[in-house]
Every structure is written in C-alpha cells, then in structure tokens.
Amino acid sequence: MPELPDVESFRKTAQKALGKRIDEVSINMNRMFEASDSSLRKHLKGNKMGKTKRHGKYLFLRINRGKWLVLHFGMTGDVTYAKEESDHSIIVLGFSNGRKLCIISVRKLGTVDLADEVGDYIEKKGLGPDAMDISRDEFRKRIGGSRGSVKTALMDQKKVAGIGNIYADEILYQSGIHPKRKIGDINEKKLEEMHKNMLRIFKTAIRNNANPDEFPRSYLLHNREDGGSCSGGRIKKITVNGRSTYYCPAVQK
C-alpha cells in the first residue's frame, strides 16, 4: 500500500486529530522502533497533536514543541481514527473524545522514530525532493543524470522521493516507455512528459484517497498481472531492480 498517495491519505487521517490532547498511549514495540518506549511515551503523552507533514513515503506528526513522530510503513500500513482500535496497531493514541489514532503495520518492516526537525531528518536519510514538489527541470536533471534503467531511477528515493513499484510501472505505462530502457536513451522532451504524467497520476490517486477502484479504467493498475489485457496487447511480467514489473510490450518501447 504505502507509496506517496497512500501516505498522503494517512496524513489526512492523522490530521483529524489536530489539536486533540493525547490521553493514552499504547505501544507494541518491535524492530521498527528506532526510538525507545520510554522516550516515545515521554514525548507523546499529555501533548497535543500538532501539524502533519509528508515527504515521499515518510509521515511526520508533530507531537510536542519541535518534536516529530516519524513513521515509515515498509510494505504494509494504514492509519485509522475511530472509536475502535484496529488490528495490528503498533501505536495507539487515545484522545479525550474517545477516539483513537491507530498506526498500523502488519508486516512490521518500516520505521518509527523521533526527530527534532523534518528537514534535517530528510537530509540525514538522503531523500530527494518530494515527487509532488519537484519542478520539471529538477526532475529532468535528477532522473536524467543516471546510467541505469529508467525504472530503477524512478524508484530511487535519493533522486525523487515517493515513487514505489506500483506507481513506477504506472508512470512508465502511461508514458509509453519500456521499464528497462536506459536513461541515456531517453531525450529531454520524454523526461518532461514523464514528469507531467507522474504529477497527473499522483494527483488523481490523492484525489481518490489512493483507492485504485476509483482510478480511471485506462490505468495499468487494474490489469497489473501476467497476461492481463491492455488496449495494445497483453501485459507481461519481468523483473527489474529485483522487483516484479508489469508492462505492455505493444505500448511501451
């Protein structure tokens, strides 16, 4: 689930607790946690939920003056705000209105951390500019300036933050580019087209709360399986950068 649009949707959910005081804290520690149980409790309990930020696939929740709760979900995740506690919650924040903000991670592959400054944290991680924020020229410079395959470049969080396996395939499909094409083989005009498509796809996904059922039918995502149908032919499955990759040979060159 958690690529840029999913995390943006998590952020909006967390935003519903804005200004609410955290009365109760429940933490199910596991290997995701970089911050200790005691320091998390110290910074969470009794404080009010502040503003929220997202950068790439990272979510930042301000929980105390200058302190941020940092969340990265790995391959699975969700955030809920309701009276009921969700299964697989790693952190549950209880508020006086009886509602709970649940941070969910079924597979426990991500990260939970504390940070003083969002910008410093992003820099420390070496993340590139957020995909929704990056200018056309910057995109062309960062993606175009590598030697490997175009899909590998798109998924490199150090170049541009937020594009994962599913959306990389979608961007390449809609841009008519074979995932294994070498970057050097793609001209500037095509790179700019990719940038435009990336923004459009993410905007569409965000508008629909990252729910693929609501995306246009023309999206690859709906037929993302070996032998799946496409206007031009059949979807093919290959491996790129160690990840399953789906594309249409008739459409993508």
Partner DNA sequence: AGCCCTGTTGCCGA
Partner DNA sequence: ATCGGCAACAGGGC
Contact positions toward DNA, by CB under 7 A? 1-3, 6, 30-31, 56-57, 72, 74-76, 88, 106-109, 125, 146-149, 152, 155, 157, 164-166, 237, 239, 241-244
Instruction: State the minimum distance, in angstroms, from the CB of residue 219 to DNA.
Output: 13
76 or 204, CB closer to DNA? 76
Instruction: State the minimum distance, in angstroms, from the CB of residue 68 to DNA.
Output: 18
- In the chain the first and final C-alpha atoms are separated, in Å, by 28
Residue 11's nearest CA partner among 57, 44, 43, 42 is 57
Token pair for 173: 């499909």
Instruction: State the minimum distance, in angstroms, from the CB of residue 75 to DNA.
Output: 4
Distance in angstroms (rounded) separating the CA atoms of residues 197 and 185 = 19
72 or 178, CB closer to DNA? 72
47 or 146, CB closer to DNA? 146
93 or 150, CB closer to DNA? 150
Whether 179 and 172 have beta carbons less than 8 Å apart is answered as yes
Instruction: State the minimum distance, in angstroms, from the CB of residue 183 to DNA.
Output: 9
Whether 114 and 70 have beta carbons less than 8 Å apart is answered as yes
17 or 155, CB closer to DNA? 155
Token pair for 42: 């110290």
Alpha helices for the chain (secondary structure H): 4-15, 37-44, 118-125, 136-144, 150-155, 165-175, 188-207
Neighbours of 110 (CB within 10 A): 24
Instruction: State the minimum distance, in angstroms, from the CB of residue 206 to DNA.
Output: 14
**What is the residue type of 97?**
N
Look-up: residue for tokens 């649940």?
102
Neighbours of 145 (CB within 10 A): 11
Instruction: State the minimum distance, in angstroms, from the CB of residue 147 to DNA.
Output: 5
Whether 81 and 61 have beta carbons less than 8 Å apart is answered as no
148 or 176, CB closer to DNA? 148
Instruction: State the minimum distance, in angstroms, from the CB of residue 23 to DNA.
Output: 27
149 or 223, CB closer to DNA? 149
Calculated CA dihedral for residues 218, 221, 227, 231, nearest 10 degrees: 10
